[in-house]
Amino acid sequence: MCLATPAEVVEVEGMQATVDVHGTRREVNVAFLDDVQVGDYVLLHAGFAIRKWTAEDVAAYEEIMKDL
């Protein structure tokens, strides 16, 4: 089973971005999304940002995950 996870964009350079996932930073590909900016939240899967999320989406996800 694969799980996508939300992350905050902290740097963007072309089609690559640095994202933060609970204090861990990694490089991801953002080619599938338009106009990714620092401060955006994205959903990550297999090294790719596949969708933008709002802060409310992330909060709801974290609320669900804390009980698991």
Q: What is the CATH number of the domain that holds 11?
A: 2.30.30.140
pLDDT in tens, 1-48: 678 999 999 999 999 999 999 999 999 999 999 999 999 999 999 999
Residue 36 structural domain: 5-66
Q: pTM for the complete prediction?
A: 0.89
**Count: domains in the chain:** 1
Backbone angles phi, psi at 9, to 5 degrees: -75, 125
Alpha-carbon span 42 to 68, nearest angstrom: 22
Is 42 in contact with 9 (CB distance < 8 Å)? yes
Is 44 in contact with 24 (CB distance < 8 Å)? no
The residue assigned the tokens 């401060």 is: 39
* Cα 9 → chain centroid: 7
R_g (Cα) of the chain, nearest Å: 11
**Tell me, what's the pLDDT at 50?**
96
**Tell me, what's the pLDDT at 67?**
84
